[in-house]
Amino acid sequence: MEFLTLDVILNSLGEVGSTVLYIFVGTVILEVVVYFLWRPLEVFSRLIGRMLSPLGNAIRHVISTLLLVGVLVFTVASVSVGVEQPPPPWAPYWPLAVVAFLVGAFVSPTAPKIFHWQMRLPYMLFAPALVGLLVLVIYPLLWELNVSFTNLNPRHFKSPDFVGLQNYIEVFTAPVLKQVTFFPVFLRTILWTVINIAFHVTGGMALALLLNRKLRLKGLYRTLLVFPWAIPQPVACLAWRGEFHFEYGFVNIMLQRLGLPAVQWMTSPTWNFAAMCITNIWLGIPFMMVILLGGLQSIAGEYYEAAEIDGASGWQQFWNVTIPLLQPILTPAIILGTVWTFTNFNVPFFINQNELETSDTLVTALFRSAFQYFNLGDAAAFAFVNFGILLVFAILYIRATGGLKGATE
Amino acid sequence: MKRSILTLVALATLIATILAGCCPSPATPEPTEPAAPEPVEIVLWTKEGEADGGLQFVQALADAYTAENPDVTFEIINKDVETLREDFLTAGLAGSMPDLLWTVNDHAGPFTDAELIMPVDDMFDLSKYVGSALAAAELGGQTWGVPISNGNHLMLIYNKDLVETPPANTDELIAMGQELTTGDQYGLVFNQTEPFWLVPWLGGFEGSVFAEDGKTPTLDTAAMVDTLQFLYDIKHTTPIIPAESDYDGADTLFKEGKAAMIINGDWSLGGYKEAMGDKLGVARIPMVSATEEWPRPYTSGVYFMLPEGLEGAKLEAVKGFVEFVTNEENQVKMISELNRLPALESALDAPIIAEDPILKGSADQMVVGTPMPTVSEMRCNWDGMKPEMQAVLADTKSPEDAAAAMQAAAEACITDLE
């Protein structure tokens, strides 16, 4: 603690404070610019619209799309990867790209609608988020895409070479780490997800059913059961890792007291994977329990009364009343849980202290490939493959839950 | 209509301004000002941790330097060895590097490959440092680090309460270890997760990680198979080590008196001396009975490395601090506080080295050590060896398969580097 002095704390607070201030001032300037620029843009878009009306909407759409796609390609190809990589020969023509972008935007027949003065407020509200997304998501993504076509690694650090699709081919043909190849890691990640979700749902359901009864000190039990959810994941993982220590961990001490042999949680591939699962099951049950408890409480008592009159047993009531009525809550919760577990980094990373490749999932393998072995080009391609897999998940999720219905209808 | 024309003029001006960005603006000469001492803050990343007093030692030196030079202040950040390497490469990629590194020699390989550090030959008088320490930071005819300490080598450290005379060879080690391994006590402990602890034995079995060219991996050899078999045996066949033990686990077992012997590096001596006092003994890692060769731990040292692009007042401040840390007074202080051998030649004459049995033992081990390779291919060897060494210890792979797999991984990694 002696290194965390008042000076250090004040410095950090000062840095955070000034960053917040910069963001605030930047936002204000951005809003003012959008406010004053909107009117001229509207007038300009109408003028262009009137001038280009003889061309016909279809042609204008085509021109606009071509220009905008061209600008996008130009931008992707211009993001330089290495610190000292010479800019591409086309880089000095960026102002032309800006002009092409403006022309592309205004040629479109929808331009007058987009730049209508009534749209000023929505765009003002949207502008800070757009800038944030551009800087924090779009730019890094474009950079990453470029990296995936290069051999960026410590030997080619400041000016890497273009290698085409080689990195993408190697994701599937060469080990992604030292020994393990892509498909075993992928299958393990699926196994990891299935095991965890199965336990989350059954465990969460059992606890939710117990808590849904009349019970003394129900609030206390509920609080205690939700506790794992409230602890930051890395902290919980490190605590669990300590408990899996061969000599000093609680788990082995308890096993030995019960007369069982101590388990090599950190070195045995099977047991390390089991340790990961135990930790994540412990972490994930509370979420499922809370969601399902909410669902159970929304089921009206009349259904059960009616079932009882019909002579249904407890099991039949659960199977024919509870489960169907929980379905609308269960489906999104399971899909969300699946995505979270599939992409969980903390548990597989922290519990796998010895960096066993037999315990790596897609995300931890990606992390090791990039930041431990520094094969940044390979890792970027690997990241885009992972991105593709998660995109499929996300689409399935959105389809199954209708999550975007409200925004698109 | 008037308004539209105005708007169009405004937009045209905007576009013209953007287009003007094409043309380079005429260079304006920078006004030259006389150099005045400006306050600088040096961000120093060190691999020294708090547990063995290293970080406190670095902080004390920085404070002492600031007391003498109030314009120079320090922000000292501790990162463990591997994290320091990974973070420095990432910082290099982001263009936000620290101002000074206090780290081990083999980082010079990847850092010079990535062109992130600069040679120090023309900045310091290197003739005053021990030759072997300098040699471990040389690459391509240039020196990439200023040595702080010499050694960083593994040795056998034992608890005199449990071990009267340290074992001279591996047969004795196993016999003694089996006697001492009872219930919750172990004969020997070491970090079973890092191949740094495998390499001395490989030397003892007459192997080496590189061919004579110093960069072609030679991991799939009979010597490596014998080494892995030996490690397997001391865990499974004639168990004298815990079923599982990482660095901290081994360290704690030894400090608590639950392990008779530990193989650990010179960096740990300070902490052990404090925890165990007179009970502490240091000796060479026992000779390999089968070959009658001494295990050959890697020797290197701890070095200052200067990030590329450091200049002006910051560079001057960094140079001043480096000279300060490696002056005789502070080198002798390091010997007594951290029990490390100095990098400054003149400090080697300090009476404390000859008088202190711990330092004497450490120096004796260093005699049979071998300089740790600096080339970046070594990184591929480390990364290749690590999972395979663990697989053999976990009994999931035979030594033969593991040796072949580590060779293949190292070769693939080197191909990727090219």
pLDDT one-digit tens code per residue, B227-259:
999 999 999 999 999 998 889 899 999 999 999
**What pLDDT is stored for residue A406 in this prediction?**
58
Does one domain contain both A133 and A212?
A: no
A154 part of a folded domain: no
Judge: B245–A99 Cβ closer than 8 Å, yes or no. no
Q: Which residues pair with B281 in a beta bridge?
A: B158
**What pLDDT is stored for residue A2 in this prediction?**
57
Judge: B244–A266 Cβ closer than 8 Å, yes or no. yes
Q: Which of residues 303-362 of A touch B (CB under 8 A)?
A: 353-357
Contact A179/B at CB under 8 A: yes
Per residue, the 3-state secondary structure of A113-171, as one string, reads: HHCCHHHHHHHHHHHHHHHHHHHHHHHHHHHHHHHCCECCECCECCCCCECCCHHHHHH
Cα A374 to Cα A370: distance, rounded to the nearest angstrom: 5
Contact A184/B at CB under 8 A: no
CB atoms within 10 A of CB A298: 11
Complex-level ipTM = 0.74
Contact B55/A at CB under 8 A: yes
C-beta of residue A147 within 8 angstroms of C-beta of residue A358: no
Q: Which of residues 21-40 of A touch B (CB under 8 A)?
A: 39-40
A107 part of a folded domain: yes
Quick check: B35 pLDDT over 70?
no
Does one domain contain both A186 and A273?
A: yes
CB atoms within 10 A of CB B22: 11
Location of each CATH 3.40.190.10 domain in chain B: 40-151+300-359, 154-296+376-417
In the three-class reduction of DSSP (H, G, I as helix; E, B as strand; rest coil), residue A281 is classed as helix
More confident residue, A181 or A77: A181
- Start-to-end Cα distance in chain B: 65
C-beta of residue B255 within 8 angstroms of C-beta of residue B200: no
Query: What are the phi and psi torsion angles at A298 (to 5°)?
Result: -85, -5
Cα A72 to Cα A141: distance, rounded to the nearest angstrom: 13
In chain B, which residue's Cα lies nearest the Cα of A81? B93
The yes/no answer on whether domain B154-296+376-417 falls in CATH 3.40.50.2300 is no
Query: Shortest Cα distance from A290 to chain B (angstroms)?
Result: 38
Q: Which residues, including other chains, have CB under 8 Å from residue A407's CB and lie 6 or more apart?
A: none
More confident residue, A359 or A371: A359
A157 part of a folded domain: no
Judge: A40–B386 Cβ closer than 8 Å, yes or no. no
pLDDT 10s digits, B331-371: 999 998 888 889 998 888 888 888 888 888 888 888 888 88
Cα B379 to Cα B386: distance, rounded to the nearest angstrom: 11
User: In which element (H, E) is residue A375 found?
Assistant: none
Chain A environment of B244 (Cβ under 8 Å): 246-247, 264-267
Does one domain contain both A57 and A178?
A: no
Judge: A246–B243 Cβ closer than 8 Å, yes or no. yes
Chain B environment of A354 (Cβ under 8 Å): 193, 246, 390
Contact B242/A at CB under 8 A: yes
What is the average per-residue pLDDT within B269-276? Answer: 88
Judge: B3–A155 Cβ closer than 8 Å, yes or no. no
Chain B environment of A92 (Cβ under 8 Å): 22
Nearest CB partner across the interface for A267, out of B252, B386, B393 = B393
In the three-class reduction of DSSP (H, G, I as helix; E, B as strand; rest coil), residue B54 is classed as helix
Judge: B387–A99 Cβ closer than 8 Å, yes or no. no
Chain A environment of B243 (Cβ under 8 Å): 246, 262, 264, 267
Quick check: B287 pLDDT over 90?
yes
Report residue B7 as tokens. Answer: 């708007």
**What pLDDT is stored for residue B23 in this prediction?**
40
Q: How many domains does chain A have?
A: 2
Listing DSSP states for A35-94 in one string gives: HHHHHHHHHHHHHHHHHHGGG-HHHHHHHHHHHHHHHHHHHHHH---STTPPPPTTGGGH
Residue B75, CA distances (Å) to B44, B80, B97, B129, B314 in order: 6, 16, 13, 27, 13
Judge: B95–A355 Cβ closer than 8 Å, yes or no. no
Q: Which residues pair with B341 in a beta bridge?
A: B150
pLDDT 10s digits, A230-273: 889 999 999 999 999 988 899 999 999 999 999 999 989 999 99
A58-70 per-residue burial string, b: 16 or more CB within 10 A, e: under 16: eebeebbeebbee
Cα A44 to Cα A32: distance, rounded to the nearest angstrom: 19
C-beta of residue B232 within 8 angstroms of C-beta of residue B395: yes
Contact A175/B at CB under 8 A: yes
The pTM (predicted TM-score) of the whole model is 0.79
Return the CATH number at A272: 1.10.3720.10
Helices (H) and strands (E) in chain A, counts: 19, 0
Tell me the H-state helices in B182-311.
199-204, 222-232, 247-255, 269-276
Cα A268 to Cα B390: distance, rounded to the nearest angstrom: 9
Domain that holds residue A203: 173-408
Cα A287 to Cα A280: distance, rounded to the nearest angstrom: 12
DSSP A357: G
Chain B environment of A100 (Cβ under 8 Å): none
Interface test with A, best of B17, B78, B93, B397 (most A CBs within 10 A): B93
Does one domain contain both A396 and A340?
A: yes
Exposure of A14 by Cβ count < 10 A (0-12 exposed, 13-18 middle, 19+ buried)?
exposed
Q: Which has the closest alpha carbon to A367: A341, A391, A386, A339?
A: A386
The fold for domain B40-151+300-359 equals D-Maltodextrin-Binding Protein; domain 2 (3.40.190)
Judge: B193–A353 Cβ closer than 8 Å, yes or no. yes
What is the average per-residue pLDDT within B293-304? Answer: 92
* Side-chain-facing half-sphere of B105: CA atoms under 13 Å: 27
Cα A352 to Cα A362: distance, rounded to the nearest angstrom: 14
Judge: A175–B412 Cβ closer than 8 Å, yes or no. yes
**What pLDDT is stored for residue A116 in this prediction?**
85
Judge: B15–A267 Cβ closer than 8 Å, yes or no. no
A165 part of a folded domain: no
C-beta of residue B151 within 8 angstroms of C-beta of residue B301: yes
Nearest CB partner across the interface for A356, out of B18, B114, B387 = B387
Judge: B376–A44 Cβ closer than 8 Å, yes or no. no
Does one domain contain both A204 and A284?
A: yes
Judge: A154–B10 Cβ closer than 8 Å, yes or no. no
Quick check: B164 pLDDT over 70?
yes
Cα A234 to Cα A350: distance, rounded to the nearest angstrom: 7
DSSP B300: E
Judge: B405–A269 Cβ closer than 8 Å, yes or no. no
Q: Of the ranges A396-400, B63-67, B347-351, which one carries the lowest mean pLDDT score?
A: A396-400
C-beta of residue A286 within 8 angstroms of C-beta of residue A227: yes
Residue B331, CA distances (Å) to A65, A238, A284, A320, B334 in order: 69, 37, 53, 79, 5
Q: Which has the closest alpha carbon to B399: B160, B235, B170, B166?
A: B235
A155 part of a folded domain: no
Q: Which has the closest alpha carbon to B149: B166, B161, B137?
A: B137
Does one domain contain both A75 and A223?
A: no
Nearest CB partner across the interface for A178, out of B110, B246, B384 = B384
